[in-house]
Each structure stands twice: as structure tokens, then as C-alpha cells.
């Protein structure tokens, strides 16, 4: 269950009320020994009603860069069906740009999480390149070389599938993009690998914008084995302060996706981060991406009460820093994560995919484990 901290609460008092211990509450909620509680802070506490219920099955994926801290990865791995390693690129000669992923593959293998190879068209600066993607889609010789290289790596390193993350594809390359995915699926299936495709959060078929035009839910949904709905970044670094994933916006995307794609193929994207905006908002100022745990520590440092917006199911607060600058922070907590996870059985989806696993969020894993049986294998 979730307990919301009230003024005057102490960790020892909450432990007595919930039949837990201070140490357990600290572990489950990522609370440091001397860290004060904040009014409005949501804590995961043991459920004392003693009732057991049948838990639904859930596929859980998460994305990680090779530089993830080992302790953070080890927190997440026991609760993952798949670990998606971000990311592989490709060169003009068809060879791959490989991340130093050996230790991630080893860690995933030790707990039985399937390692997924994420392929992107990112350039040397780490930005999605429409031009690089177009080369792959249009040049069949290059495409064959890249797919040959991918299959070799998939086989040799023990991956279980390919995640195609191609973003900002212009409308002129739509059909070539679809043909590439179809070709990739055929080659992958010959060797027993699956294809997942990541899709921008659309709400209708003809939605305009470079992020959306090539992400045809009906076509790609018929090709891919699974699809990740990237249901985050409504609140983003250059946008105005707001929830990263408002629950009503997520619902709208899901309801459109279900018109085009079978529910058993759909994974719901869940953010594992927050943003700290300076206010008043200005497009020229970039919000700072922060961890959910750091958000709570900021509230504690500046004596800011955490509020919860029921309409979007997300926590937020404001504070004034040492220079007199006002800030607004939106992030995720136990309440917002529980609300997002509840969408999966409500709509009959396959599972969830976390972007990303780079920051600790122990509350999430406690709630996930309490509500669901994690699917093992594909």
C-alpha cells in the first residue's frame, strides 16, 4: 500500500503503524539514514490486510546504457523480462557501431532476463539522423550488410531480439522504412529472433509532425512482434512545466493504438525521471532532467511540500533556490507509477517498457512486484 507523509510524521512512527521497520522503509523507498521526510511524499509500506489475490502476468522491459551503475542495474534486473541495451549504430560499409555491452549481457544472462539489441540511426553526437536512416532504408546492399552484421552479433552474443528505434523519419521515407522492417522481421524470424519497434505516442492516424508521420501504427503493428508506445515526454526539457506522462494522455494513445494493433503486442512506455524547470517558463531555458529520488531530496532541502495532481496522476512541487530563483518540479512516485501500471490490465496490454533504468527508483520495483507476476521469457 502507499502512505502519504503528513506534517509531523516520522519514519519510526510510520514503521509502527504499518507493522514494518525503519530499515525496510528506507530500503523500499530509497531513503538515506539522515534524509528528512517531506509532507506529501508517497511511501511504499507493507499491506497489512493479509489477503492474497491472483496477480496478472506482465512483460517488463527496460533500457540501459552500458555506463549504468552496477548497483542500479542489480536493483532492476530481477524484475525484468528483457533488458534492452542502448544502442547499436551502423556505418556506411554495413559494419556496426557497438557499445561496450559485454558486462550487461553477462548480468542479464545470470538472472534470466533476455538481452535485446537496440538499433538506432543516431549520429556521432548521439542525435537521431534522418539522413543516416534514409541511407539504410533506400540502399538494399547496405541494408543486407547491416542485417548480416546484426544477425552475427545476435547469434554470437546471445541476444534474444532486435529493437528498432528509428525516430524523425520524413514522410518521403515511410514506405522504405516499412520495407526495411519487413525485411528485418523475415531475416530475424529465420533464426528465432523477434522484432520490436518503438513508436511515437500518436492519437490519430494522420497526426502531423516529423516525429509521427512515418510511425504508421497499422502498418508497423502488422509487421512487428511487439511494439513499445513511447508514452512520455509531454513534459520535456524545452517545454513548459507539466507531468512527463499525464495519465489521460497515455489513455488517449492506448485507445488509438488498440484500434490498429493487437493488445498482446503492446508495451506501455513508462518514464523513470523528472524535470526541474526554472519559472517563469522560457523556451530559451532547458529544464534539468533529474531522478525521482533526487526530486524528493530537493523538496526536503528547500522545505517544499509535495503536491499530487489527481487529474494527471503525478506529483509536483515548487521551491526557491539560494539565488532567489523559483523552480517547478514534476516527477514520478509510488502513486503515479501505480496509476500507470494499472493501465496494463485495464486495457489488456502485454506489459511495460521503462525509459530508462539509469537512475534508481526502488519504490517502482516494490510496487511492480506486489501487483504482478513478471513474465519469464518471451
Backbone dihedral angles phi then psi of residue 10, each to the nearest 5 degrees: -125, 160
How would you label 266-291 residue by residue, b for 16+ Cβ within 10 Å and e otherwise?
bbbbbbbbbbbbbeeeeeeeebeebb
Give the DSSP H or E segment for 62.
strand 57-64
The pLDDT, as a whole number, for residue 377 is 78
Angle, to 10 degrees, between the axis of helix 140-157 and the axis of helix 130-138? 100
Kindly give the confidence (pLDDT) of every residue in the chain, 378 residues in length, as a single tens digit, with 9 standing for 90 and above: 899 999 999 999 999 999 999 989 998 999 988 899 999 999 999 876 644 467 899 999 999 999 999 999 999 999 999 999 999 999 989 999 999 999 999 999 999 999 999 999 988 888 899 999 999 999 999 999 999 999 999 999 999 999 999 999 999 999 999 999 999 999 999 999 999 999 999 999 999 999 999 999 999 999 999 999 999 999 999 999 999 999 999 999 999 999 999 999 999 999 999 999 999 999 999 999 999 999 999 999 999 999 999 999 999 999 999 999 999 999 999 999 999 999 999 999 999 999 999 999 999 999 999 999 999 877
* Cα distances (angstroms) measured from residue 237 to each of 10, 12, 23, 241: 34, 38, 35, 9
Question: 115 - beta bridge partners?
Answer: 83
State the alpha helices, DSSP H only, in the chain.
11-18, 22-29, 70-76, 102-111, 130-138, 140-157, 174-190, 217-223, 247-260, 292-301, 334-341, 343-347, 362-371
Domains and CATH numbers, the chain: 1-53 (3.10.350.10), 57-273+334-374 (3.20.20.80)
Locus of grid cell 538481452: 115
On the 0-12 / 13-18 / 19+ scale of CB atoms within 10 A, 23 is: exposed
On whether the CB atoms of residues 105 and 158 are closer than 8 A, the answer is: yes
Cell numbers for 260, please give them: 490498429
Cβ neighbour number for residue 331 with a 10 Å cutoff: 29
The pLDDT, as a whole number, for residue 126 is 83
Q: What is the pTM of this model?
A: 0.95
The pLDDT, as a whole number, for residue 32 is 86
Show which residues are catalytic: 167
The pLDDT, as a whole number, for residue 46 is 86
The pLDDT, as a whole number, for residue 53 is 60
Amino acid at each position: 500500500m502507499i502512505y502519504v507523509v503528513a506534517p509531523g510524521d516520522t519514519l519510526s512512527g510510520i514503521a509502527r503503524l504499518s507493522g514494518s521497520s525503519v530499515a525496510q522503509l528506507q530500503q523500499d523507498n530509497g531513503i538515506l539514514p539522515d534524509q528528512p521526510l517531506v509532507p506529501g511524499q508517497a511511501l511504499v509500506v507493507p499491506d497489512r490486510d493479509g489477503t492474497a489475490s491472483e496477480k496478472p502476468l506482465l512483460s517488463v522491459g527496460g533500457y540501459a546504457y552500458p555506463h549504468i551503475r552496477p548497483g542500479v542495474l542489480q536493483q532492476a534486473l530481477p524484475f525484468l523480462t528483457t533488458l534492452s541495451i542502448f544502442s547499436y549504430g551502423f556505418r556506411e560499409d554495413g559494419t556496426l557501431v557497438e557499445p561496450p555491452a559485454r558486462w550487461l549481457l553477462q548480468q542479464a544472462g545470470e538472472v534470466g532476463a533476455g538481452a535485446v539489441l537496440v538499433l538506432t540511426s543516431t549520429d556521432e553526437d548521439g542525435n537521431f539522423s534522418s539522413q543516416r536512416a534514409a541511407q539504410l532504408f533506400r540502399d538494399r546492399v547496405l541494408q543486407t550488410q547491416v542485417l548480416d552484421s546484426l544477425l552475427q552479433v545476435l547469434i554470437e552474443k546471445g541476444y534474444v531480439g532486435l529493437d528498432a528505434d528509428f525516430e524523425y523519419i520524413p514522410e518521403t521515407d515511410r514506405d522504405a522504412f516499412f520495407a526495411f522492417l519487413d525485411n528485418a522481421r523475415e531475416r530475424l524470424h529465420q533464426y528465432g529472433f523477434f522484432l520490436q519497434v518503438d513508436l511515437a505516442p500518436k492519437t490519430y492516424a494522420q497526426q502531423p509532425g516529423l516525429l509521427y508521420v512515418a510511425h504508421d501504427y497499422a502498418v508497423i503493428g502488422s509487421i512487428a512482434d511487439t511494439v513499445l508506445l513511447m508514452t512520455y515526454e509531454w513534459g520535456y526539457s524545452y517545454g513548459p512545466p507539466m507531468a512527463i506522462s499525464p495519465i489521460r494522455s497515455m489513455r488517449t494513445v492506448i485507445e488509438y493504438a488498440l484500434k490498429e494493433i493487437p493488445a498482446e503486442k503492446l508495451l506501455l512506455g513508462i518514464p523513470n525521471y523528472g524535470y526541474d524547470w526554472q519559472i517563469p517558463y522560457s523556451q530559451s531555458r532547458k529544464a534539468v532532467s533529474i531522478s525521482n529520488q533526487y526530486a524528493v531530496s530537493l523538496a526536503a532541502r528547500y522545505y517544499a511540500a509535495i503536491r499530487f495532481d489527481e487529474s494527471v496522476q503525478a506529483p509536483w512541487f515548487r521551491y526557491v533556490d539560494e539565488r532567489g530563483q523559483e523552480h517547478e518540479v514534476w516527477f514520478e512516485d509510488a502513486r503515479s507509477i501505480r496509476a500507470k501500471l494499472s493501465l496494463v490490465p485495464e486495457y489488456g496490454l502485454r506489459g511495460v517498457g521503462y525509459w530508462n533504468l539509469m537512475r534508481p527508483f526502488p519504490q517502482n520495483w516494490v510496487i511492480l512486484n506486489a501487483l504482478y507476476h513478471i513474465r519469464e521469457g518471451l
